[in-house]
Amino acid sequence: MFKTSIIAASLALASLGAAVSTQASAATVYVQVAPPPPRSEAAPAARRGMVWVPGNWAWRGRQYVWMRGHYVRARPGYAYNQPVWEQRGERWVKRPGHWVRGQRDRDGDGVPNRFDSRPNNPNRQ
């Protein structure tokens, strides 16, 4: 009986901060608290065949944790859309970073031309 009460109380507390629903292999996390503003993070020099993913906030149980930026291997013919937090009603949902096929990226830096301030950057490495 005591064990059942502890489990029920733990589940109730966990549901206050976030509700998790699993769909196929991806989990969607709904958070009641808005994420903090993004931290200022200098992007390092471009690397051939790599795309820089800027740092972003991740929800870890009961609080936001800053995930530092990192490089991922570029995918020819694809552009990377970075992760973003979206407000849906009273809750916040993180849309994970993902690759989008067919968006033009002339200089191969991972930023689609329509969002790139210099889509034909001759100094790209």
Q: Quickly list H helices, 1-125.
A: 2-17
Which pLDDT value is given to residue 63?
Answer: 95
Q: When comparing pLDDT for 79 and 19, which is higher? A: 79
The range of the structural domain enclosing residue 92 comes to 2-115
Number of residues in the chain = 125
Q: Is residue 45 part of a domain?
A: yes
The predicted pLDDT at position 80 comes to: 87
Tell me whether residue 9 is in a domain: yes
- In whole angstroms, give the CA distance from residue 30 to residue 20: 6
Helix (H, G, I), strand (E, B) or coil at 85: strand
Task: Please write the tens of the pLDDT for every residue from 98-125.
Answer: 998 876 666 666 677 777 777 666 555 4
In a domain, 67, yes or no: yes
Q: pLDDT averaged over the chain?
A: 76
Answer yes or no: is 122 within a domain: no
Residue 49 pLDDT greater than 70, yes or no = yes
Any domain includes 41 = yes
Pairing status of strand 63-67 against strand 70-73: unpaired
Report the number of distinct structural domains present in the chain: 1
Residue 103 inside a domain? The answer is yes
Q: Specify the amino acid at residue 123.
A: N
What token pair was written down for 79?
């552009």
**pTM to 2 decimals?**
0.59
